[in-house]
Amino acid sequence: MFLVKGKDLWEVECKMHFSWCLRKMLKLRHVLQVLVPSRVSTVRRIWDEIREPRSKVRWHRLVWFGFNVPRHSVVLWMSILNRLPTFDRLQGKGMILENHCILCEAGAESRNHLFADCLFSRHIWNSILGMCGLTRRMLDWEGELNWLCTCLKGKSLIVFILRLAWCSYVYFIWEERNLRRYRGHSRDCNSVLACVKEVVNTRVQKKSIRLDTVNSNLYAVWGIS
């Protein structure tokens, strides 16, 4: 969208080096003219014209932030809204009869159990907290989400790592669940934790970080080069 910043959207020439999404939007300007009869000239104003304004949810910075992994954020977003097809939801629709957690075999699968109560998952998240120098233990789903929303503020390295790690943690737990249920493959806790570490490592390297004592320790623990 930055390609048309400061220009009249209706007059911008569609060029081949534009992204597919932008080229498609420019070719559909005649549809936009019906939706936006006032012929506003910027993407932001068009968005303001057609959207339904709502207040921000308190967890939006946990899901959408700079240097995030989009597919991880989408899975986290769906989990917060409780829209992932966990077995408790499928059972409620009459699609399955039995419901058990395939990760720990110790409870029924639900959003809350899978990401917070399951012993397999809790071990991984508690390990992540320990790698960030935190001695606290994981709470239940609502409690952990509330703690994250309350405490992960600002632009420090540890806040960035915890946001990334939380997104990746939820994504890889969901991925592990699907691998076991539908492909018959499984990984241990250390392997899933290694996946989270790899994401954090890759994303942190793209940022410019001031290496004071605290940040240097985080680099060492997470194996960031």
Task: Please give the full DSSP string across 176-207, using - where no structure is assigned.
Answer: HHHIIIII-----HHHHHHHHHHHHHHHHTTS
The Cα 178–Cα 133 span in angstroms is: 31
What percentage of the chain has pLDDT greater than the value 70? 86
Backbone angles phi, psi at 58, to 5 degrees: -70, -15
Q: How many independent structural domains does the chain possess?
A: 2
Give residue 49's pLDDT band: very low, low, confident or very high (50, 70, 90). Answer: low
- Are both 190 and 88 inside the same structural domain? yes
Give residue 50's pLDDT band: very low, low, confident or very high (50, 70, 90). Answer: low
Domain extent, residue 101, equals 60-222
Average model confidence (pLDDT) across the chain: 88
- Are both 97 and 208 inside the same structural domain? yes
The predicted model gives 184-201 an average pLDDT of: 97
Looking at the domain assignment, is residue 111 inside a domain? yes
The predicted model gives 217-221 an average pLDDT of: 95
- Are both 100 and 20 inside the same structural domain? no
pLDDT at residue 166 in the model: 98
The Cα 99–Cα 108 span in angstroms is: 5
Looking at the domain assignment, is residue 55 inside a domain? no
Last residue of a domain, one of 50, 68, 90: 50
195 is written with which tokens?
A: 């996946």
- Are both 92 and 182 inside the same structural domain? yes
- Are both 83 and 38 inside the same structural domain? no
